[in-house]
Amino acid sequence: MSDLTDLTLAEARDALRSGETSATALTEAYLEAVEGADALNAVVHKTPEVARRQAEAADARIARGDAPELCGIPIGVKDLFCTEGVASQAGSRILQGFAPRYESTVTDKLFTAGAVMVGKLNMDEFAMGSSNETSTYGPVTNPWRAGNSDAALTPGGSSGGSAAAVAARLCVAALGTDTGGSIRQPAAFTGTVGVKPTYGRVSRWGIVAFASSLDQAGPMTRTVRDGAILLGAMAGHDPKDSTSADLPVPDFESALTGDVRGKVIGIPKEYRMEGMPSEIEQLWQDGVTMLRDAGAEIRDISLPHTKYALPAYYVVAPAEASSNLARYDGVRFGHRAALDQGDGIVDMYEKTRAEGFGDEVQRRVMIGTYVLSAGFYDAYYNRARKVRTLIKRDFEQVFDAGVDAILTPATPSAAFELGQAQDDPIQMYLNDVFTVTVNMAGLPGAAVPAGLDRRGLPLGLQIIGRPWDEAGMMNVAQAIEDRAGFVARPEKWW
C-alpha cells in the first residue's frame, strides 16, 4: 500500500475492515506526520499516548468484527472541544492549564465509535477570528503557498488548525466549529471540505461557548464522502444540550449519489458583491455550469437582507459572547492574575480578564457589553434580532418557492498573507460575508473546493441547504466535487 496518510476516511475505513492495514499502523503514520509538521503550528497539544491506546483498542474491536465507521480513524480535535484529562484551552491564555474532567458529547461519541485522537488543534481565541492570528499559541501557517512565493499564508479561521491539519495530512479528518463561517472559510482557504450542520443537529455540550445561538460543530475532511461519514458520527440528540434536535439522523453517506437531476439550485443576486475578484466570479459561474451539466435547474433568486447579516452578526455574536465569557473570572478554572496587597475581588476579575483575554476577545466582549447595556439594548440588540428574523424569512421564502439548495462563493478571496488584515477588524470581518447569513438563519452550509486561482491557491464554493437537509446539500457538494476534479494538494515544504 502507498502512503497511509493518502487514504481518505472512507478508504481508511475500508482498509481497516478488510485487514489491509491496522489502526496502529495508520496512527503511527499520522503521529509521524504530526511530529514533522511543527512549522505549521496546527497541532498545539499532541496526544500520542492517547492515540496509541485508542488505536490498540480499535484494532482489538476490528479483530472482533465490531468496527463502527470511525473505528481506528485518526482525527484531530479543535481546541474548543473539552477532552477529558487533555488540555482544552479554546486558544486562550485564560484557560491555560485547564484540563477538563469531562468529555464533550461529540468527542465522546467519536471515541465510543473507536476514533483515535492525534492531538488538539490550533484556533482563533474563543473562535473569534478569521485568520487564526488571535490564538494564544500564535498563528497557523497554511500548508498552501502561492506560486513560487514562500510568503506565509493564513489557513483562515477560526478552525484554522483543523483546516491546515487536514490539508497537510496530519489527520484523516478534523472537528471544527462554525459561528459565522469558522468551518467553511478555512476549508475554502485550504482546499478541504467543511460542513456546518443545521443549528441543533450536533450537540454543543462540552464545546466552549462563543455565541450559543449560532455555534455548531461540524466535520472538516478531504472529500464530501468523508464529511458525510464524520457528520453521521457526530450528529444526534443529546439531553445535555436543550437546543439539540430530537430528530433521526439520516445515513448521510448513502445519500451521496451525486445525482442532482431536477434539483432547483438558487443563485442569489445579492452575493454578487461590489469589487468581487473576477476569479471568484468565474469560480461561481463554473459551479453553475457544473450543476447545470449535472441536470439541475438553475434559478436566480433574491435574499434582500443579505447585506445586513454581517452587521447584525456583530451585534448578536458579541452580545452572546459577553455573557458566555463572563465565566472566566479567575475563580473556577484557568488563569488568575497575581494580585497586589489590598486588591479586592473586582480587581481580581479585571486583572485576570485583562491578562487572560487577547485584544480581539476583549474588543468583542466589550462591544457585547455595550450593546446589551441599559439604553442601547433596544437600539442595537433587539434591532439585530429583528433583522435576524428577516434574514431567516428571506431563506424561507426561496425554499417555499421550491429551491432545494443555494450556490454561492464560500469566501470573497483566496487565502491571504498572515499579518495582512490584522490591523483592521472590519476588514477581517468581511471574510465571513458569504457564510454568516447561514448561521443567522440556522441553516446547513458546506464549503467544497472547486478550483485554483492564478497563483495556484484553492478556492471554494458554498452550498446552503434547507433546514435539516444536510443530505441533499452534501449531495449537491458531491456533484460539484465529481465535476470540479479538484486533485491539487499543497506541496510539502514544512
Site for another protein in 404-443 (CB under 8 A): 425-426, 429, 440-442
Q: Which is nearer to another protein, 174 or 464 (CB)?
A: 464
Q: How far is the CB of 239 from another protein (least distance, A)?
A: 7
Amino acid letter for position 190: T
Q: How far is the CB of 326 from another protein (least distance, A)?
A: 8
Stretch that binds another protein, among 70-78, 120-128, 275-283, 335-343 (CB under 8 A): 335-343
Q: Is 365 in the site for another protein (CB under 8 A)?
A: yes
Q: How far is the CB of 399 from another protein (least distance, A)?
A: 14
Q: How far is the CB of 354 from another protein (least distance, A)?
A: 4
Identify the residue among 256, 290, 315, 477 touching another protein (CB under 8 A).
Answer: 315
For strand 74-78 and strand 173-178, is the pairing parallel, antiparallel, or unpaired?
Answer: parallel
Identify the residue among 21, 213, 397, 422 touching another protein (CB under 8 A).
Answer: 213
Stretch that binds another protein, among 61-69, 225-233, 292-300, 321-329 (CB under 8 A): 321-329
Site for another protein in 294-313 (CB under 8 A): 305, 307-308, 311-312
Q: Is 345 in the site for another protein (CB under 8 A)?
A: yes
Stretch that binds another protein, among 22-30, 92-100, 203-211, 453-461 (CB under 8 A): 92-100
Q: Is 367 in the site for another protein (CB under 8 A)?
A: yes
**What's the rounded Cα separation, in Å, for the pair 276 and 413?**
8
Q: Site map for another protein, 100-129, x if CB under 8 A? A: xxx---------------------------
Is-catalytic flag, 158?
yes
Site for another protein in 238-267 (CB under 8 A): 239, 242-243, 245-246
Site for another protein in 372-401 (CB under 8 A): 373, 380, 382-390, 392
Q: How far is the CB of 440 from another protein (least distance, A)?
A: 8
Q: Which is nearer to another protein, 234 or 367 (CB)?
A: 367
Site for another protein in 183-202 (CB under 8 A): 198-200
Are 118 and 27 in contact, with CB atoms under 8 Å apart?
Answer: yes
Instruction: Using only the alpha carbons of the chain, give its radius of gyration.
Output: 21
Are 167 and 191 in contact, with CB atoms under 8 Å apart?
Answer: yes
Q: Which is nearer to another protein, 411 or 439 (CB)?
A: 439
Identify the residue among 61, 299, 351, 483 touching another protein (CB under 8 A).
Answer: 351
The count of chain residues that interact with another protein, using the rule CB under 8 A, is: 73
Q: How far is the CB of 116 from another protein (least distance, A)?
A: 25
Q: How far is the CB of 338 from another protein (least distance, A)?
A: 11
Residues 6+ apart with CB under 8 A from 290: 450, 479, 480, 483, 484
Q: Which is nearer to another protein, 203 or 221 (CB)?
A: 203
**What's the rounded Cα separation, in Å, for the pair 73 and 258?**
25
Are 8 and 222 in contact, with CB atoms under 8 Å apart?
Answer: yes
- Of the residues 88, 104, 182, 203, which is catalytic? 182
Grid cell digits, residue 428 = 477581517
- Of the residues 22, 158, 162, 322, which is catalytic? 158
Q: Is 15 in the site for another protein (CB under 8 A)?
A: no
Identify the residue among 19, 97, 262, 275 touching another protein (CB under 8 A).
Answer: 97
Q: How far is the CB of 19 from another protein (least distance, A)?
A: 40
Is-catalytic flag, 392?
no
Are 237 and 204 in contact, with CB atoms under 8 Å apart?
Answer: no
Is-catalytic flag, 182?
yes
Amino acid letter for position 236: G
Catalytic residues: 78, 158, 182
